[in-house]
Every structure is written in C-alpha cells, then in structure tokens.
Amino acid sequence: MPLRKLAAEALFAPTLGWNVLLGRMLRVRRWWDRIDDHVVIGALPFPSDVRRLYREGVRGIVNTCREYGGPQGTYARLGIRQLRIGTIDFTPPSLEAVEQAVAFIDDHASRGESVYVHCKAGRARSATVVLCWLMHRHGMSPEEGQRLLLDRRPHVHRRLPARSVVQDFLRGRSGDGRQVPLRADEPDVPNGTTAEGIVLPQASDIERFG
C-alpha cells in the first residue's frame, strides 16, 4: 500500500493535467453530470465550479480524494459542507467510508438539497460511492446502477459492481435495513496535506484552470 500511495501522489499532477486537457480544453468529457435529483458526480472542483454547483442546488460535497482537500475557503463562504473520505487514488473507498457518504447524501436529500460527489476524474472512487447511493436510494442492483451511471457519465469505471466494497454494501442492505449513522463531523486532513504531512497541490495552485 505505501508504494501505491507514493505512486498516486507522484501521478497527481500529470493525471490532473490530462483531465484538464480532456475536460476543459478539448471538451471531450464533461466535468460533472447529474445522476438523480440529489447527486451530481464529477471531477475535483475548482472554485469557479463550486459557485456554479451552488447555483445547481449543491449544498454538500463528498470528497473521496486523499490527495486534494478542495477549495475549502469557497465552501465556507457559500455555506457548503464537505465530507472528506480520503481514499488513495486507484483504490476503492472502504465500506465504512461509503456508508458515511451515503448517510451524508441522505441527510442533504432530506432537505431537498444536492451533493457533489467527486474524486480526481469522476470515474472510479466517486462512482463507487454513487453506485452505492443508487442501490440505497432507488433499490437498484449493482448492474442496474452501473448502467445508469454509464448512461449519464459514459467514462465511469465499467466494472464497479465487481468491487468487493460494492458487494459488501449490497449484503449489508439485504439484511435488516439498518440505518447508517451520519458521521460527517469527523476531523478532516488539512487542505493540501496528507496525514503524514506531505504537502500536495493546493486549490489555489490550480485555480487558474477554473
């Protein structure tokens, strides 16, 4: 796992640049897509994106990135809550993290609000969370949720149902219908810093792409 973490950190800048090329310059991929009335999935947000998302009704952020804390100053100014379930790039979030995220989305949905769920590119970590949300909220099977995600956002990871966390989430939901406690108030890793203190790119470093 340490090697995977180091590789993810080393690849952050070049892969972000690739995402910016495809999404901002060539515009062959959308930066985000709405999945249902309460969830928008996409790539990591720049400050200008946050302001647009706010106008779309977004009042919560699920940030699955371990490597990026997000434009927290912009969130604070707009009154947007962030739940950060930091997950190393190229790995799926844990079951506990997914359950926290689904409960967080549920909380906002109960107030008629939307939540933006993102990773770096909006393809895998975030899509795993959103697939589990679709299973929870709409009673979809993993395969049905995958088809909907591909219809709305064609470049999401195509084998999400095979992920063990998705199967574990499915087994948990087929039991006694337990309610997952909301745990959105856990301490966050400071913006741009890993738990080990490694300084990573800040939102201000990449705001020019917004």
- List, for residues 106-126, the tens digit of each pLDDT value: 999 999 999 999 999 999 999
CB 8 within 8 A of CB 33: no
Cβ neighbors of 48 (< 8 A, separation 6 or more) are 207, 210
Rg (C-alpha) for the chain, rounded Å, is 16
Identify the CA nearest to 131 among candidates 96, 175, 101.
101
Alpha carbon distance 84, 72 (integer Å): 11
- List, for residues 153-168, the tens digit of each pLDDT value: 999 999 999 999 999 9
- List, for residues 26-73, the tens digit of each pLDDT value: 666 799 999 999 999 999 999 999 999 999 999 999 999 998 899 999
**What is the pLDDT at residue 210?**
41
The 3-state DSSP class for residue 31 equals coil
Residue 13 pLDDT exceeds 80: no
**What is the pLDDT at residue 90?**
85
Domains and CATH numbers, the chain: 31-175 (3.90.190.10)
Mean pLDDT of the chain: 82
Active site residues: 119
Q: What are the residue ranges of helices labelled H in the chain?
A: 2-20, 47-55, 72-78, 95-109, 125-138, 142-152, 164-173, 203-206
- At 17, the pLDDT band (50, 70, 90 cuts) reads low
- At 12, the pLDDT band (50, 70, 90 cuts) reads low
CB 192 within 8 A of CB 199: yes
What's this model's pTM, rounded to 2 decimal places? 0.77
Alpha carbon distance 7, 88 (integer Å): 10
More confidently predicted of 4 and 162: 162
